[in-house]
Structure 1
Amino acid sequence: MFDGDVRELDTAELLSSTAEHHAEHRRLEVRLIVHALRYADLHHSTTHERDETPGSERAIVLGGAGCPSISEFAAAEFGAMMDMSAGAAAAFIGQALALRHRLPRILAMVLNEEATPWKARQIATACLDLSEEAAAIVDRRVAGIIDSVTPLRLKKIVKAAIWQADAAAAEAASQQKARERGVYIGRSNDHGNKSVWILAASGDVIRFDATVDAIAEALKALGDTSSLQRRRAKAVGILADPTYAAAVLAQASSLSVSTPPRPAAPTSRDFGGPAEAESPAVDPPEPGVDDEADRDAPHPGQSELPDPLDTPVRTRHEACEDCDDSEPDRAAQRALAARLAQIKQQAHSNTMQSGGRSPGRTEVLVHLTDHTLATGSGVLRVEGIGPMVAGQLGELIGYGPYLVRPVIDLNDKVSVDAYEIPDRIRERVALTHPVEQFPFGTAETTRRIDLDHIEPYDPTGPPGQTNSSNLAPLRRFSHRVKTHGRWSVRRLDDGALEWASPHGFRFRVDHTGTRRIDKLMAGSTSGAGG
């Protein structure tokens, strides 16, 4: 082990030190699995021990059939000590239990430092719905190869083993996948972009793709000089307003367009004609189970729109059809925006005059300072999206009419003399605390999240107990843990919350997140419900 500064190491010494630290990291991962197993043993629970009080703790099975049950709230304290949410901790404990009770060969490989712990835990998750007998088949097939193949190959081998172990379940899963068609919206990334995953009938997707292309070409005809893919992205927003989309297409069709859009009619190739054999389907990889070595080739699917989860990242200097990395002409962009705004306004005006319906209303809650609004520079926060730069505000709101709400002064203490929480208080709490206030909580404070009375409400107590400073947003599980799980909480003078776990560990939760603030309290603390 090297104790000196790494800058003093030559290449060979640095590589040797890297290997040693990697091995130590794996050993520590193994120890965490062992700790999770012992923790589960200490919190073993059975169904007959359950308190029948509504919302009270239950006995749950986390690792799949054959695993012992544990107390439902136990994961919350374990997760807090590992700097993770209760849900993530429950998954970790369940994986450890599944390895011990359902996949003993794989666990033995992990304990002997012959298999990477995180790979073993993912196999446990993949086998969660299998019977004990089927899990044993997977255990025998893959235990010896976990670290001898790449993660992507391992995933495919595990999938094949699962199908072999339970053919009926595999068929049922296949039928379930056919019922999973839908349009799914992903979380925003660090730059304010959202992803859309569409799983629909092939013909519908082909026609949608053709319409997106048509609008992208229409934008080009109207003066948009950005790349094809950027215009296609803009087309999604235009399609959200059918009246506007029809007007854009109509305006573009009246101009001289050199390159007409692709025809929308599907061909035999689109539905699996002779060329289909040249383009086998590729399952999108899951995060953490893939590596770049297995993704050297471009996605071979038929569509010109590659699966964003399956496509290798291009560098700026790689060739790209219809790509333009040059700095956009800002004057031209402003002119195009003005033209599109005029097209949209005229389209809806014509629709209303002819007795048509007005467009649907969309609520976008944007929080920004007066300085950002006046200067057009700075950072703003959008509920459900996160931080965005001020320059993105225009594309977020679009060209339609919008309503600006008055500023709410969060320093004002608003209260009512009742247990029920009115919307005006609920909104203030949501604005003050965008994320739930349980240690390492992950749930966003929506308008439907539970608001817990930090100091329990007393029907015979003083007026004004339901107020904006005595309420904390908690998702339902966290609320139940606080009420029935022997956790306690108090509001500090600076507005932060101090939580005490059943075994005396304390955590501070404020606008910066969660921090453990001491080792142990003098004694255990009892919780109270809100």
Structure 2
Amino acid sequence: MGTPRITEYAAATFGARIQTSPYGAKRLIADAVDLVHRLPKLWAGVQAGTVRSTHARRVADATRELTADEAAWVDAEVVEIADGRLAWTRFEAIVEGKVAAASPELARAKEEAAAKDNYVRVSRINKHGKATLTFHTDAALILGSNAGVTAVAKALEDQMPDATRNERRVAALALLTNPQAHVDLSVGPVKPKVEIVLHCTPDSPIARMEGHGPVTIAYVRHLVAHFASQVKVQPAIDLNQGAAVDAYEIPAKLREAVHLIHPGDTFPFAANLSRKVDLDHQVPYAEGGKTSTDNLGPMTRTHHRIKTHAGWQVRQPFPGIVIWRDPHGAYYLVDQTGTRKVTATTGDQTPTHLETFLLKVALDWAA
């Protein structure tokens, strides 16, 4: 919608000229046309070199079913973060959420169509005596089934002491789906407990399911009505009021506040959004660093070790804004919009006022 028509066989001719298939050329033409006519801000950024073409093309593809006005709204919402500051998976997640927010009706229609797309089937690609079984259904049912497999695999540890975790999980699935696969059925039945975290706001028709992505409020109602045995509503945490405890250990409420301030790994360009990460005292506790929201940051164990042992320094001058300095003196600013390298931007290599301020803040905090 909102783009000129392209002749049917143009992609084949164009594809041959640039040495790609008609399908690949068709996608390239569609993305280019959408960018020029429906996503002008991203297109201007591509031309100026401030937006990566891969990111712009991803938005073009994701917004193809939206109206021109809806696509323009997404264009304005994501153009600032399409410069590569975010890891690809995090950028995709934000685009997906913006597309759903731009057209909740379309998101709901896709959920209704997906609700009918349930199957269990064996993959056609089977080699070396191995096969793949795909189980595609409602996210809540998948999470519950996975928890059941995990619970049975745990119960099999004594019976299979030399097996790997994955081998026990395969045995657990065989036990649950084909009881005759094992003589001893004492490890079942299992009633797994699954925790699903949903983030909802009163003025939005879209909620976010942690680990899954955006869903409509209608789907949330369906989830609660059909799958949830217990619903716990957590009160909003005021992130403008810093929280702290006088101890090294981090209580659950403080951990939750840190997760809301930093929804992902705070290391530069990190992609991890899991809650199962370390919470690092940016100023070490042994050196007087507080156990507080303004001195804690989530990181994977690998990134935590890099920060601890490889000469990286990090400070959080304001909640949610993290400044890193690598061992060679380069600075990076990380916030909820992603990572930006703090370097000179003018031709004479003179830092901007913002860069000078950020460098001064980082140096003062690192001192």
Q: TM-score range by the shorter chain?
A: 0.3 to 0.5
Which structure has the larger Rg? 1
TM-score of the two chains, using structure 1 as the length reference: 0.34
